[in-house]
Amino acid sequence: RTLPARARVPARARARGSPRKSFAFSLSDWMPLKLAVFDFDRTLSACHLYHALAGGDGGIFAPAPFARTERGQLARLAELDELPEYREGGFAVAAFGGAERVAQVHGMLGELFESGVECVVCSRGLAGPIRRTLDHVGLLGRFTHVFANVGSGVKPTDYEMALPSHMPKEEDRRYLSEPGSVRCGPSKGRRVARLLKERGITRHEAVFVDDTPQEIASARGACITILVQPPQGQESACGMCAREMDLLRRLLAGPAHVPSPCRP
């Protein structure tokens, strides 16, 4: 039998004309999960890290000066850690929604790790700042790869142009991308499909988690997909919550634990 799993598109996305999407999960197709691919901004994290550091609406307090490159954003993250607002736990903990949510994400990723599931980040943000933020909340070691944008990106800001040559700090330079680093690419769906092909696994053995309906649509058919949505009545909430973490645990547990109907 087939359990319909409908991904509800947020009202703001439907207003832009995004159609309501759905996919089916078949008990006969179920196989142990082997790969989990996560978006970073507003999926793993509770804010949009790149936008916050670049001067956009990131959902977290990040005052000027702003930065748009790996080097500049890494330097800026170190400075933000020194602000009174972020001295307890640092900016990274705040970016993840606080210590309690960090613990929740830790627990969920730990369960995936213990079950032998490979975890990968696929983001349109900058790889260096993502690595640093994950490392500062103790999560970087849970991921085998961080596929994201690298280097200078768009035009550097005046702040970045004036950065001393020794910035970012020595301890943060390890987060900078190596020349030739693999990016996320124009389509997350294609990146996911390539990861499956490289590992020789089927679409029933992988899951892709993202907060953007268009990104989910690009991967639908390539693997199981989970659209991150705010809890009912908490539309301002961002990042994976109990709902998405519970769905991942149900996929780990097997078909007998997948609800009918399952609504990722």
Here the CATH number for the domain that contains residue 205 is 3.40.50.1000
Quickly state the pLDDT bin for 127 (edges 50, 70, 90): very high
Distance in angstroms (rounded) separating the CA atoms of residues 29 and 21: 20
Distance in angstroms (rounded) separating the CA atoms of residues 51 and 107: 27
**Domain assignment of residue 72, yes or no:** no
* Number of domain units in the chain: 1
Whether the per-residue pLDDT at 171 is higher than 50: the answer is yes
Distance in angstroms (rounded) separating the CA atoms of residues 146 and 140: 9
Q: What is the pLDDT of residue 82?
A: 95
Extended strands (E) in 135-195:
143-149
**Domain assignment of residue 63, yes or no:** no
Q: What is the pLDDT of residue 15?
A: 38
Q: What is the pLDDT of residue 234?
A: 73
Which domain covers residue 38, as residue numbers? Answer: 2-46+97-150+179-257
Quickly state the pLDDT bin for 180 (edges 50, 70, 90): low
Q: What is the pLDDT of residue 210?
A: 98
Amino acid of residue 88: E
Which is it for the CA torsion 117, 122, 125, 128, positive or negative? positive
CA distances, 69 to each of 23, 86, 177, 181, 232 (Å): 37, 22, 11, 15, 36
pLDDT, average across residues 144-159: 89
Quickly state the pLDDT bin for 2 (edges 50, 70, 90): very low
**Domain assignment of residue 136, yes or no:** yes
**Domain assignment of residue 80, yes or no:** no
Whether the per-residue pLDDT at 228 is higher than 60: the answer is yes
Amino acid of residue 121: V
Q: What is the pLDDT of residue 232?
A: 77
pLDDT, average across residues 24-47: 85
Distance in angstroms (rounded) separating the CA atoms of residues 235 and 85: 24
